[in-house]
Structure 1
Amino acid sequence: MRRYGWLCLLWVVLPLVATAQQARPRVVAVKSAALAPYAAVVAGFGAEVHAEVVEVTLEESKQAAERAFQRIAAQKPALVLALGPLAANTARRALGPDVPVLFAMVPYYEKYGLEGPNITGIALTSDFRPELAALKSLSPSVKRVGILHDPRFSAGLVEAAQSAAGTLGLSIVPLEADGQAKAEKVLAGSKDKVDALLMVADKTVGNAAVVQQLIAFASAQRLPLVGLTPSQVREGATLALAPSPTAIGQQAGRLANRIIHEKVDPGALAVSQPEGLDLAVNLSAAGKLGGSKDVVLELLRFAARRDFPVRVFE
């Protein structure tokens, strides 16, 4: 009889378990391309989100992307995670108000008009507080931080940096340039007027040629240069704090849980600052600042206090 009772219990419970599994929300993670950072975001996302995750990789054409999103819309997923500009922009246009959109890995997201009803995301750049704090740890004597930028694209970024700098006793020196030739002249004119340089995500000054100008100028003047990416640190920038793709995915998973399970309207959520940052430091560039190994040691202590993973280049 006891065995018969267990069988009856299983007969009742197993269908309930199957039903619960079938009812699990379905999320579609759409990647703009088959890139390793996008895959890392999806891995982090899957570890946090309470949902079934299906991956879609877009072909590199707007027409193919539109067709893919028409198929996705017909499936009515609980949420779409859009990775990269192609996926984010197509999702905004093609999905109706019934499918929430969460974007990530979109440089210059502001220019795409991605803020609005039923859509939110995670920015690729921070509010400059971590970068300026790291700079202060590396070079406590720094007071004037120059930002080479094109005011047509990054006036708002300079204002954000000025707001963050004030709390650290720093001042921002705007260095305006509307082209590559102008950038070289502006940098030359900033000699003895700045104690450090901070890169911003700017279409004009973010190209490879101007980045090389910044690195060469900072090296010649023995100025710390805060870059945007580990690759720029490898090339000669002193340090950079860059979002970790896996950490962005985990952050996106937590946001998705709020949207799916707590029924929070994505449009009511501001675009989030990236929470997980990796610190990259160039030992050779830091050594040219006139300090000793203690300079880098202080930077490593800063990273340890903030729990930032560290990558070191020579």
Structure 2
Amino acid sequence: MLLRVVLLFLTALVVASPAFAAGKDAIAVIYPDIGEPYHGIFEKIIEGIEDKVGSPVANHPVGADTDIGVLKASLLQQNTKVVIALGRQGMKTATALNNNISIVVGGVLTVPENEARAQPVISLTPDPALLFARMKALKPATKRVFVVYDPGFNDWLMKLAREAAHSQELELVAYEAHDLRSAVRFYREIFSAAGGRSDVLWLPQDSTTVEERSILPLVLQESWNKNLAVFSSNSAHVRRGVLFSLYPDNVALGKSLATLAQGILISGGYRSRGMMPLRDVQSAVNLRTAQHLGLNLGFQPGFDTTFPEQ
């Protein structure tokens, strides 16, 4: 009799423990073990994940020297069913686990198509539909959007951009550039062709076509001289003179990643896979550039960040 009571007590402890409670420790986070400012960004994303889940989640900082076997054992001990992998190192580590734990990826700009198709990946690149809508709100006369991109990096994004442009009755004029020289040539063509109130230029996050030391200064100077509105997927460009940008709301992004993970727990499998653009965004605007372009921001919804800083 005593033995039966003891067994029932131990069973109750196991069932009630976080490692076995449904949804409690079923989600874990893997993120790169790096310094600021990135560490703070990952902390905010994890904050959003925990807000959505409704309880703390196990989180594992990882590096190139992480022992995959030890990490795998820890995840299994915690009854982990889904890993939210943040950053390239987080994704690399999660895919190396090679077990039955599902993966959701966030905190990356882009992932090669053959790697992204295995699981859902929320990019740090803002959704073109949101960028175009904000541009049209700032400048209703906008009809044509120019962009120069490297298809090896942003082909997936341009597919979304074409759909967004069509739905918003915009013409997207996209130039494929595989190197710096061709990118410069295309920008010079754009500045020769663009003009008037209906043309704008979009700068995607693209290390080939939006190179910081040569192309960005060229774009900023020429666009200023021609009164051409330029918006960017990189919020750092707003401080340097681009009209506006959208950037991650990290807590909200964490909640979206958690929603994907919870969906996997409920359905037992992936509901979606591949690259997804960032929809959890905040906004930044350069007031000096807006004034130069003759734009009235008084009727616009508030921006989260303004430059020059007020």
Partner of 1:83: 86
The answer as to 2:77 corresponding to 1:93 is no
The answer as to 2:32 corresponding to 1:32 is yes
Q: Provide the C-alpha distance between the structure 2 equivalents of 1:176 and 1:259, rounded to a whole number of angstroms.
A: 36
Q: Provide the C-alpha distance between the structure 2 equivalents of 1:157 and 1:213, rounded to a whole number of angstroms.
A: 24
Q: Structure 1 residues 18-27 or 181-190, which shifts more?
A: 18-27
Partner of 2:292: 288
Partner of 2:5: none
Q: Provide the C-alpha distance between the structure 2 equivalents of 1:162 and 1:88, rounded to a whole number of angstroms.
A: 28
Residue 279 to residue 112, structure 1, CA distance change in 2 (3 Å)? farther
Q: Provide the C-alpha distance between the structure 2 equivalents of 1:186 and 1:105, rounded to a whole number of angstroms.
A: 30
Partner of 1:234: 239
- Deviation at residue 179 of structure 1 after TM alignment: 2.3
Q: Provide the C-alpha distance between the structure 2 equivalents of 1:205 and 1:277, rounded to a whole number of angstroms.
A: 23
1:246-281 CA-to-partner distances (Å, cap 9, x unmatched) read: 111011122222222x13412x32344433210111
State the number of aligned residues: 285
Residue 73 to residue 95, structure 1, CA distance change in 2 (3 Å)? farther
Partner secondary structure for residue 124 of structure 2: coil
Partner of 2:298: 297
- Deviation at residue 227 of structure 1 after TM alignment: 0.8
Q: TM-score, normalised by structure 2?
A: 0.81
- Deviation at residue 136 of structure 1 after TM alignment: 0.7
Q: Provide the C-alpha distance between the structure 2 equivalents of 1:224 and 1:65, rounded to a whole number of angstroms.
A: 49
Partner secondary structure for residue 105 of structure 1: strand
Report the structure, 1 or 2, having the larger helix content.
1
- Deviation at residue 187 of structure 1 after TM alignment: 1.3
Indicate which of 253, 256, 261 corresponds to 2:261.
Answer: 256
Residue 172 to residue 42, structure 1, CA distance change in 2 (3 Å)? same
- Deviation at residue 130 of structure 1 after TM alignment: 0.8
Q: Provide the C-alpha distance between the structure 2 equivalents of 1:176 and 1:217, rounded to a whole number of angstroms.
A: 20
Partner secondary structure for residue 248 of structure 1: helix
CA contact (8 A) 1:85 1:107 kept: no
Q: Structure 1 residues 270-279 or 26-35, which shifts more?
A: 270-279
Partner secondary structure for residue 219 of structure 2: helix
Q: Provide the C-alpha distance between the structure 2 equivalents of 1:265 and 1:50, rounded to a whole number of angstroms.
A: 22
- Deviation at residue 112 of structure 1 after TM alignment: 6.2
Amino acid at match of 2:101: V
1:103-135 CA-to-partner distances (Å, cap 9, x unmatched) read: 11011124561322xx32322224411100111
The answer as to 2:59 corresponding to 1:55 is yes
Q: Give the fraction of aligned pairs with identical amino acids, expressed as a percent.
A: 20
CA contact (8 A) 2:30 2:61 kept: yes
The answer as to 2:46 corresponding to 1:42 is yes
| Equivalent residues in 2 for 1:118-267, closer than 5 Å | 119-194=119-194, 195-209=199-213, 210-260=215-265, 262-266=266-270
Residue 207 to residue 37, structure 1, CA distance change in 2 (3 Å)? farther
Partner of 2:305: 311
Q: Provide the C-alpha distance between the structure 2 equivalents of 1:115 and 1:51, rounded to a whole number of angstroms.
A: 30
CA contact (8 A) 2:126 2:281 kept: no
| Equivalent residues in 2 for 1:269-280, closer than 5 Å | 269-271=272-274, 272-280=276-284
| Structure 2 stretches lacking a partner, 5+ long | 1-7
CA contact (8 A) 1:201 1:228 kept: yes
- Deviation at residue 184 of structure 1 after TM alignment: 2.5
